[in-house]
Chain A
Amino acid sequence: MSHPVVDAELVRRVASLAKLDLNDDQVVQAVGELNRMLDFVDLLSEADVDSLPPLVHPHDVLDAVRDDLPEAGLSRSDALANAARHDDTCFRVPPVLG
Chain B
Amino acid sequence: MIPSAVRLREEFVAGERSAVETVRETFARIRQSEPALHAFLSLDEPGALAAAAALDRRRADGESLGSLAGVPIGVKDLIGVRGSRTTCGSRMLAEYIAPYDATVVERLRQADAIIVGKTNLDEFAMGSSNEHSAFGRACNPWDLSLVSGGSSGGSAVAVAADQVPITLGTDTGGSIRQPAAFCGIVGLKPTYGLVSRYGVVAYASSLDQVGPMGRTAADCAALLQAIGGPDRRDSTSARREVGEFSPPDSLRGLRIGWVPEQFGPGLDPIVSESVESALRWFESQGAVRVPVELPYARFGIASYYVIASSEASSNLERFDGAHYGFRADGSDVTDLDRLYRATRTAGFGAEVKRRILLGTFALSAGHADAYYGRASRVRRAIRDDFDRVWQQVDLLLGPTTPTPPFPAAAKTSDPLAMYLADVYTVLANLAGLPAVSFPVEPTDTRLPIGAQLTGPPFSDQRLLGLVHRYQQEHDWHLRRPDPIGLPAGIPVSGADS
Q: Are B302 and A19 in contact (CB under 8 A)?
A: no
Q: Does A78 contact B (CB under 8 A)?
A: yes
CB of B480 within 8 Å of the partner chain: no
Give chain A residues whose Cβ lies under 8 Å from the Cβ of B206.
56-58
- The answer to whether the Cβ of A5 comes within 8 Å of any Cβ in the partner chain is no
- A58-B432, A91-B322, A94-B339 known; A34 vs B361 contact (CB < 8 Å): yes
Mark each residue of chain B from 358 to 402: 1 if its CB lies under 8 Å from any CB of chain A, else 0. 101100100100110111111111011000000000000000000
Q: Does A28 contact B (CB under 8 A)?
A: no
Chain B residues in 8 Å Cβ range of A18: 313, 344, 356-357, 360
**Among the listed B324, B339, B348, B379, which residue makes an inter-chain contact with A93, where contact means beta carbons less than 8 Å apart?**
B339
Do residues B381 and A49 form an inter-chain contact, with CB atoms below 8 A? yes
Interfacial chain A residues near B329, Cβ < 8 Å: 84
Give the chain B neighbours of A74 by CB distance below 8 A: 99-100
Query: Do B377 and A63 have beta carbons less than 8 Å apart?
Result: no
Would B306 and A52 count as touching, CB distance under 8 A?
A: no
Q: Cβ of A14 and Cβ of B381 under 8 Å apart?
A: no
What CA separation (Å) do A94 and B303 show in the bound complex?
Answer: 40
**Closest chain A residue, CB of each to CB of B380:** A55
B239 within 8 A of A: yes
- Residue B354 at the A interface, CB < 8 A? yes
In the assembled complex, the CB of A13 is this many whole angstroms from the nearest CB of chain B, namely 8
Pick the most buried of A15, A41, A53, A91: most chain B CB atoms within 10 A of its CB.
Answer: A41
Q: Please pick, from A41, A84, A95, the residue contacting B327 in the complex, using a CB distance under 8 A.
A: A84
Q: Mark A26-63, 1 if CB is under 8 A from B, else 0.
A: 00001001101100110111110110111111110101
Q: Mark B300-322, 1 if CB is under 8 A from A, else 0.
A: 01110110000001000100111
Q: Do B235 and A14 have beta carbons less than 8 Å apart?
A: no
Dominant SS at the A interface?
A: loop
B112-120, B129-137, B330-338: which lies at the A interface?
B330-338
Assembly CA distance A82 to B320 (angstroms): 13
Q: What are the residues of chain A within 8 A of B457 when measuring CB–CB?
A: 59
Tell me the smallest distance from the CB of A57 to a CB of chain B, in Å.
5
Residues of A within 8 Å of B364, CB to CB, are 14, 17
Given contacts A66-B232, A93-B339, contact A55 B383 (CB under 8 A): yes
Residues of B with C-beta under 8 A to A70: none
The 8 Å CB contact of A85, one of B96, B327, B340, B379, is: B327
B449 CB → nearest A CB, Å:
27
Closest to B206 in A: A57
Report the separation of the CA atoms of residues A36 and B419 in the bound assembly, to the nearest whole angstrom: 13
A96–B415 Cα distance when bound, in Å, is 37
Contacting pair A54 B373 (CB below 8 A): yes
Whether B334 pairs with A98 at a CB distance below 8 angstroms is: yes
CB atoms of B334 and A20 under 8 A apart:
no
Q: Using Cβ atoms and an 8 Å threshold, which residues of chain B touch A82?
A: 95-97, 99, 323-325
Decide yes or no whether B299 CB sits under 8 A from chain A.
yes
Say if the beta carbon of B43 comes within 8 Å of chain A.
no
Q: Measured between C-beta atoms, what is the minimum distance from A50 to chain B in Å?
A: 7
Contacts of B239 in A (CB 8 A): 64
Bound complex: CA A66 to CA B348 (Å) = 35
A98 / chain B contacts, CB cutoff of 8 Å: 334-335, 337-338
Complex alpha-carbon distance, A79 and B192, angstroms: 29
Q: How far is the CA of A10 from the CA of B378 in the complex (A)?
A: 26
Q: Which residues of B contact A96 (CB under 8 A)?
A: 335-336
Say yes or no for B28: interface residue by CB 8 A criterion.
no
B68: Cβ under 8 A from any A Cβ: no
What A residues does B277 contact at CB under 8 A?
none
B432 contact set on A, CB distance < 8 A: 58-59
A18, A33, A40: residue with the most chain B Cβ atoms closer than 10 Å: A18
Nearest 10 A-B pairs (CB), nearest first?
A: A58-B432, A98-B335, A54-B376, A82-B324, A84-B327, A55-B380, A49-B377, A63-B235, A78-B99, A18-B360
A-binding residues in B (CB < 8 A): 95-97, 99-100, 192-193, 206-207, 230, 232-233, 235-239, 296, 298-299, 301-303, 305-306, 313, 317, 320-327, 329, 333-342, 344-345, 348, 353-354, 356-358, 360-361, 364, 367, 370-371, 373-381, 383-384, 415-416, 429-432, 457
Complex A-B: 11 CB contacts under 8 Å: A1-B370, A19-B320, A34-B357, A37-B415, A41-B375, A54-B376, A55-B376, A59-B193, A59-B238, A94-B335, A98-B338
Which residues of A are at the interface with B, using a C-beta cutoff of 8 A? 1, 4, 10-11, 14-15, 17-21, 30, 33-34, 36-37, 40-41, 43-47, 49-50, 52-59, 61, 63-66, 74, 78-79, 81-85, 91, 93-98
Given contacts A17-B364, A44-B374, 13 further A-B contacts (CB under 8 A): A18-B360, A19-B344, A20-B341, A21-B342, A41-B306, A44-B303, A50-B377, A54-B373, A55-B377, A58-B431, A64-B236, A82-B323, A98-B337
